[in-house]
Structure 1
């Protein structure tokens, strides 16, 4: 990796974060950082595969650089990968990625899977193709020692989604992988569906992924309270910011407090997805998310 001056230009460096009093009464900052994750989605503009077509590629990132980047620049070792950022799934490529994770003391907490086909499709041929796509990501997750795979968006039929998820979860269980269903601006952004799927599929390795952003404003906080007991991983998402780094889309910190009050002990994986604003500094946004999350757990 061509090492950037991550720490020199950082607002917060990994070293500085550790120089704090050890009281023994409250979790240290270093301990709290163990509950912070970062997804490659935040830096999508820096990946050749996902940058806007009208934007010049600057400060290019690749998956093999991500573990070092997240560790050096942000002090974060919990890595979440959007599958659109895999340049290939060849064994040599995956082996190199696995080595990069281990070399930086990092772990893969989740694959945010994508595919061409919807597991809730009423057209059986398409539904089966979607299942096959997800099984391939489950195999990759197992090789990379990921904890889970998030299922892609499902828009068509709740019943077909349930049938697919049951088969997917059973397969994932044989590979030691958790399956996460996200409120992803789809069938499962309806809270009743998000809750119901747990009982309908009834597999011990199936759980919910809670995304702060993918809910209608009038139900956001109530929905998060309801799904909190079944949540295995949180996408601590922000959306739009002002020039003064004020998050204007919703109360991000309130969302964290909801889960802390519910007794959530898992990881908050920071993510940003809002309007396409070329003026955004995504490192500063990431610093903002990490700080607000650490201050509320």
Structure 2
């Protein structure tokens, strides 16, 4: 390197170093842009436990891609088979459609004094983690379960999700069962690289304090929160705010045509700000729960969520 070239490059480097500080002083550097959240859709939005013509996961994947979603959440109970060959077909189809398989929604219940029943639920949950791993899905929705003292789900919804404990037991017993169970489950989640998200989904999850008590007791990066916008029936915004910092997946309910069990008038612009303030950059997964035809209501829901989670 000759002297002239050295001086020229050195001068340029000095200017380049000075530019950021000069720009900052003049206010020329814009504030960082918060990216838009990617929007997915749960297979539950199509099937809803009642539309047999929209149960098949391949059918739901085709609709999701046609409608313009970024990702797809699989409801585990919707699968006809969990054989690995069938799971790989789903993964291949999603890849070819350009959809991320980004969530696995499962059911389990640990609110039972019967240790054998809890062990069976632990086995079911670890099996589900292995299924999510086979599908390449990075996060899985989990629950505390319910007491089972309601006649059925309709009865539970009539009670606004609040259920009496089994006779002779209390919520203190339930927290012990749930925490002990997830301590046994977490090593499998860590091995597979699947982040579990405890949802505010009835049982101990009926309040944000209940969800946080379990998550904080486990104190692991492999158990965080799946936050459902439609499961806090009173004071939803304050309650969503409490769980937003721990959220790894946001499930967003819409109710076009009126809700099947109830209808919430949710302000998604406000919810979008709550999640941005909590620095949430993950997926928003639509869970349509209205009476309108999902093939017309789901695209409207996507448009609503695109606007609310457009970033800043």
Query: CA–CA distance in 2 between the matches of 1:113 and 1:270?
Result: 16
1:16 corresponds to which residue?
A: none
- Provide the C-alpha distance between the structure 2 equivalents of 1:94 and 1:100, rounded to a whole number of angstroms: 10
Distance 1:215 1:248, change over 3 A: closer
| Partner residue in 2 for 1:40 | 43
TM-score scaled to structure 2, two decimals? 0.73
Which has the larger displacement, 136-145 or 93-102? 93-102
Counterpart contact for 1:238–1:252, Cα < 8 Å: no
Q: CA deviation at 1:240?
A: 5.4
Q: Name 2:255's counterpart in structure 1.
A: 239
Gap runs ≥5 in structure 2: 1-29, 148-173
Asked if structure 2 preserves the Cα contact closer than 8 Å seen for 1:240 and 1:248, the reply is no
Q: How many Å apart are 1:237 and its aligned residue?
A: 1.0
Residue 295 of structure 1: SS of its match in structure 2? helix
- Identify unmatched segments of 5+ residues in structure 1: 1-23
> What is the CA deviation profile of residues 80-103 of structure 1, one whole-angstrom value per residue up to 9, with x for unaligned ones?
011111101122212211211221
Asked if the contact 2:268–2:308 (Cα under 8 Å) also holds between the matched residues in 1, the reply is no
Partner residue in 2 for 1:76: 69
In the alignment, what sits opposite 2:206?
189
| Equivalences, count | 251
Taking the aligned partners of 1:174 and 1:289, their CA distance within structure 2 comes to 36
The match for 2:57 among 46, 52, 63 is 63
Task: State the Cα deviation string for residues 125-152 of structure 1 (Å, max 9, x = none).
Answer: 1100000001111111101100111114
Is this contact kept in 1: 2:91–2:101, CA < 8 A?
A: no
1:162 aligns to 2:179 (yes or no): yes
Q: Distance in 1 between matches of 2:308 and 2:40?
A: 15
**Structure 2 residue corresponding to 1:90, chosen from 76, 83, 93:** 83
Structure number with larger C-alpha Rg: 2
Check the 8 A contact 1:253/1:292 in 2, yes or no. no
Flag the 1:284–1:252 CA change in 2: closer, same or farther, 3 A: farther
Q: TM-score, normalised by structure 1?
A: 0.77
What is residue 137 of structure 1 aligned with on the other side? 128
1:160-194 C-alpha deviation (Å, 9 max, x unpaired):
11111122122111111111100012211211111
* Equivalent runs, 1:1-297 vs 2, <5 Å: 32=36, 35-44=38-47, 50-51=49-50, 57-58=52-53, 60-72=54-66, 74-115=67-108, 118-156=109-147, 157-217=174-234, 219-239=235-255, 241=257, 249-274=265-290, 277=291, 280-297=292-309
Runs of 4 or more, structure 1, over 6 Å off, are: 24-27
- Describe the shift of the 1:104–1:121 C-alpha distance in structure 2 as closer, same or farther (beyond 3 A): same
| 8 Å CA contact 2:76, 2:104 repeated in 1 | yes
Q: Aligned with 1:168: secondary structure?
A: helix
Q: Confirm or deny: 8 A CA contact 1:211 1:234 kept in the other structure.
A: yes
- The alpha-carbon deviation at position 216 of structure 1 amounts to 2.5
State the partner residue of 1:8: none
Measured after TM superposition, the shift of residue 272 of structure 1 is: 1.9
| Distance in 1 (alpha carbons) for counterparts of 2:46 and 2:114 | 35
Higher relative contact order (CA 8 A, sep 6+): 2
Distance in 1, Cα, partners of 2:284 & 2:32 = 19
C-alpha distance in structure 2 between counterparts of 1:241 and 1:260, whole Å: 29
| Cα separation, partners in 2 of 1:100 and 1:26, compared to 1, 3 Å | farther
